[in-house]
Structure 1
Amino acid sequence: MAFTGLVIALLCGVGEAIAYTAVQLGRPNADIGSLATGLAIRGGIYLAVLGVAVRMARGARWARTVLTVGIGVIGLASLIIEPLAATLSAKQISDLFDNLTASAVIIGTLRTGHILAVLIAIPAMYHPSARRYFRALASQR
């Protein structure tokens, strides 16, 4: 369950990055270089997370710790800061829905899926069945 949650989070993150880039490319002043750099950085991060998640699934306990800090703390904070700031700066809740576009709904849905997948994956890595799994793999080595 933890690995599946991490993969779903990654897929949501990739989808969000692509959707965001597509929206930005539709604007007349699109900075293609900046968008390409952003995609490359995100792509590198997502590949690294996938690599660590695979190691975790193979029983590497260190990978579980890295994912907990990297995805469960730093990554989750980066996903929540922007919507939280928008919510706190709104004078009324209805202000958050002014000028709502289809692309904003898609990006918001992907972000929500990303957050939910992380909130499922991280605790699943520490579930008693996961602990048994890590112990069993460690005893086979």
Structure 2
Amino acid sequence: MTGTAFSVWPAPLRAEHPARPPRAVSVAFTGLVAALLCGVGEAITYVAVRVDSPNADVGSLTTGLAVRGVIYLMVLAVAIRMAHGARWARAVLTIGIGIVGLASLIIEPAAATLSAKEIGDLFDDLGPAAVFTGIFRTGHILAVLVAIPAMYHPTARRYFRAARPSW
């Protein structure tokens, strides 16, 4: 059983890990940071609209922002590890951001579109906050759709294979 987690033989020596990540990994990292910034923008827009309402629950909004902040910081930490060649980080980002996160961004607009009786119903309550939310969400989705495939570009795969296992 060589080359598995249960191998009794020493692992083969790996090629020297490059000091700088290839362009594909840099593109993936930049895309992930752009997605995070779009998420922050959308969160700020959401809170700004809710705080302005007469029966705003500031405690709930603060808790929501704190939870999002922790999640965004964790994603940033994992993205940094990915940029340094951690294969586990690439897998976590693929599942967490590329599947679960992307689905959460698409489900709400898709449900609204499918539940509308006429196309005009989608634009009834269109105000500045909805426009900003739409711009941030579109940017977020596009950034993820750039970042995830970039992590699997052939040059990125070679980079991750050459990386030494790390936390």
The two structures share one fold, judged by TM-score above 0.5? yes
SS of equivalent to 1:37: helix
Show structure 2 runs of 5+ residues with no match. 1-26
Distance 2:66 2:124 in 1: 32
Equivalence for 1:11: 37
Residue of 14, 18, 33 corresponding to 2:59: 33
Q: C-alpha deviations, 1:33-56, integer Å up to 9, x for none?
A: 111111011101000000000000
Distance 1:112 1:99 in 2: 18
Equivalence for 1:72: 98
Equivalence for 2:142: 116
Q: Give the TM-score of the pair, scaled to structure 1.
A: 0.95
Equivalence for 2:78: 52
1:22 and 2:48 aligned: yes
Two-structure CA RMSD over aligned residues (Å): 1.2
Distance 2:61 2:138 in 1: 22
Residue of 111, 115, 130 corresponding to 2:156: 130
What amino acid maps onto 1:110 in structure 2? Answer: F
Q: Give the TM-score of the pair, scaled to structure 2.
A: 0.81
Q: C-alpha deviations, 1:2-29, integer Å up to 9, x for none?
A: 0000000000000100011001111001
SS of equivalent to 1:28: coil
Distance 2:129 2:44 in 1: 11
What is the number of equivalent residue pairs in this alignment?
A: 139
How far is 1:103 from its partner?
1.1
Which structure: larger Rg? 2
Residue of 118, 124, 136 corresponding to 1:92: 118
State percent identity of aligned pairs. 74
Q: Identify the structure with the greater helix proportion.
A: 1
How far is 1:97 from its partner?
0.7
Show structure 1 runs of 5+ residues with no match. none
